[in-house]
Structure 1
């Protein structure tokens, strides 16, 4: 197995792990303040290049509902079966606030380190 192949596989794996780590926060953010149908969540994530397949999102929505983070209501549809619309509970809104604050602090710290390293590298040349 070539070193190039190992690097590519590791890069893809790292990207996938990072994306999974922020997916829950992104889903909660999409739902926040609204009642949202699953296809709208998927479209928003895909538009932001967080490509997610339905098989990934349904178990996550189910887990969040079971944890009391989400609730839903059914609505009849003229073009097919009834639709499930999700919204955040108070617990979900609080969780999103915590995740958002954690994310902002984390990205600020990472950016500081990355920019410091970049600036050091530029000064070395």
Structure 2
């Protein structure tokens, strides 16, 4: 899946990738890849700028560490990031339900 197809959803995907715990940038990329069965495979040039933007917005924080003699920056959700992820999930549920209803030619909201 190309990055252009994910416009408007990238932040939520990155926040969801970080939900289980801190990851370095390549770990985030791998989490997205494995969590989507290979469908979401984003380049570092897309992920790192978005992580930096999320950090400036206060949704993630980063910390430098040394692993195997290499310096790595790990990212983790802040309380604001957790709240933003909850909001994103609620919005996605509503949006995807409406789109699915339209594509399946059903009325929305679906009867429960």
TM-score (structure 2 length as normaliser)? 0.82
Whole-Å separation in 1 of the counterparts to 2:67 and 2:20: 22
Q: Mind listing any 5+ residue stretches in structure 1 that lack a counterpart?
A: 1-11, 118-125
TM-score (structure 1 length as normaliser)? 0.74
Q: Mind listing any 5+ residue stretches in structure 2 that lack a counterpart?
A: 107-112
1:87 equivalent in structure 2? 76
RMSD: 1.8
Tell whether the 8 Å contact from 1:71 to 1:86 is kept in structure 2 after alignment.
yes
Q: How many residues align?
A: 103
1:9 equivalent in structure 2? none
Q: Secondary structure at the match of 1:116?
A: coil
- Aligned pair in 2 of structure 1 residues 108, 51: CA closer, same or farther (>3 Å)? same
Tell whether the 8 Å contact from 1:33 to 1:88 is kept in structure 2 after alignment.
no
Greater per-residue helix proportion = 1
